[in-house]
């Protein structure tokens, strides 16, 4: 009998000691989680299967991100409007006496649209009126998307684009 009582007390103590705080690394599937400005900071690829274009895109994105230069930015607003800014078409690679230099582009292409977000899929209406559905994983201030699904020129070959919320 004493064992049952001690076991019950231990079980109750264990249940009440467990924290219910939200883990900052857990997935946030609330529709408001996407609202804000997101900068592409990384392209995750498989080097054994990725194309040369994907490898080059990753290198350029890594280099510019290290210089606090963000060439792909997504802005999702509360009124369900969105804007994508892409400076990839304006990246210049310059040969210098000490090697290659890639300055931060000063120009970019921009496209405005509308969107919906159900917590795991963002649906964006592009400039042609077509709907693009993209699987999205948001964990805290990190958003992961399939690069091919997002259809951003120069970064739609393969891999996952990682965005950080400002």
Direct distance between the N- and C-terminal alpha carbons of the chain, in angstroms, rounded to an integer: 58
Can you read off the two tokens belonging to residue 118?
Answer: 């159900």
| pTM greater than 0.75 | yes
Give the C-alpha separation, 23 to 140, whole Å: 9
Beta strands 142-146 and 131-139: pairing type?
Answer: antiparallel
Sign of CA dihedral 48, 52, 58, 60: positive
Kind plus residue range of the DSSP H or E element containing 133: strand 131-139
Sign of CA dihedral 83, 104, 70, 48: positive
Greatest distance between any 2 Cα atoms in the chain = 84
The architecture in CATH of the region 28-165 reads Beta Barrel (2.40)
Q: What is the pLDDT along the chain (166 residues), one digit of tens a residue?
A: 333 333 333 333 333 334 334 444 567 778 899 999 999 999 999 999 888 888 988 999 999 999 999 999 999 999 999 999 999 999 999 888 888 889 999 999 999 999 999 999 999 998 889 999 999 999 999 999 998 888 776 677 789 999 999 9
Instruction: Classify 88 as helix, strand or coil.
Output: helix
């Amino acid at each position: 009998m004493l064992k049952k009582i001690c076991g019950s007390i231990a079980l109750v103590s264990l249940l009440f000691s467990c924290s219910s705080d939200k883990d900052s690394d857990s997935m946030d599937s609330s529709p408001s989680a996407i609202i804000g400005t997101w900068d592409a900071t990384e392209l995750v690829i498989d080097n054994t299967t990725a194309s040369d274009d994907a490898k080059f895109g990753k290198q350029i994105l890594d280099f510019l991100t290290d210089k606090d230069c963000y060439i792909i930015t997504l802005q999702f607003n509360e009124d369900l409007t969105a804007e994508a800014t892409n400076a990839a078409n304006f990246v210049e690679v310059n040969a210098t006496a000490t090697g290659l230099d890639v300055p931060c582009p000063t120009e970019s292409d921009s496209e405005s649209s509308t969107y919906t977000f159900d917590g795991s899929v963002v649906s964006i209406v592009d400039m042609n009126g077509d709907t693009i559905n993209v699987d999205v994983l948001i964990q805290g201030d990190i958003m992961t998307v399939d690069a091919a699904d997002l259809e951003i020129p120069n970064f739609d070959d393969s891999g996952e684009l990682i965005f950080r919320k400002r």
